[in-house]
Amino acid sequence: MVRYVVRKVKLLPRTEKELKALPPTIQDQIISKLELLSDFPELGPAMFDAFQGYRALLAAKNAYRIIYRIVRDDLIEVAYIRHCARQTRLRLIRGKNS
């Protein structure tokens, strides 16, 4: 018997602001990728060094990088959504309920 896990994809507060600041067409493309993470949490390759424990997924014609981590079987936390031209430095901004 296959056990299906329902996963919640949680955007950190800063990530929500980053997503809302994007044009609607880009938002739609990123949201489509985020929905895929619910079913396929290991879709993005694992990162290393300062990003140990995180994964990166490209969206919107590979122009945006979604940086996330699998917190538990039922929770995926999205730390950043950034345009690939921007330098990515990992600074986690945790929500109060983390």
The answer to whether residue 45 is domain-embedded is yes
Per the structure, the complete domain to which residue 50 belongs is given by: 19-83
The answer to whether residue 2 is domain-embedded is no
The answer to whether residue 98 is domain-embedded is no
Task: Produce one character per residue of 23-51: b if its CB has 16 or more CB atoms within 10 Å, e if not.
Answer: eeebeebbeebbeebeeebeebeebeeeb
The answer to whether residue 58 is domain-embedded is yes
Say how many domains are in the chain: 1
Rounded CA-CA distance 2/86 in Å is: 41
What string of pLDDT tens digits covers the 98 residues of the chain?
666 677 899 999 999 999 999 999 999 999 999 999 988 999 999 998 888 999 999 999 999 999 999 999 899 999 999 998 865 454 444 444 44
0.85 surpassed by pTM? no
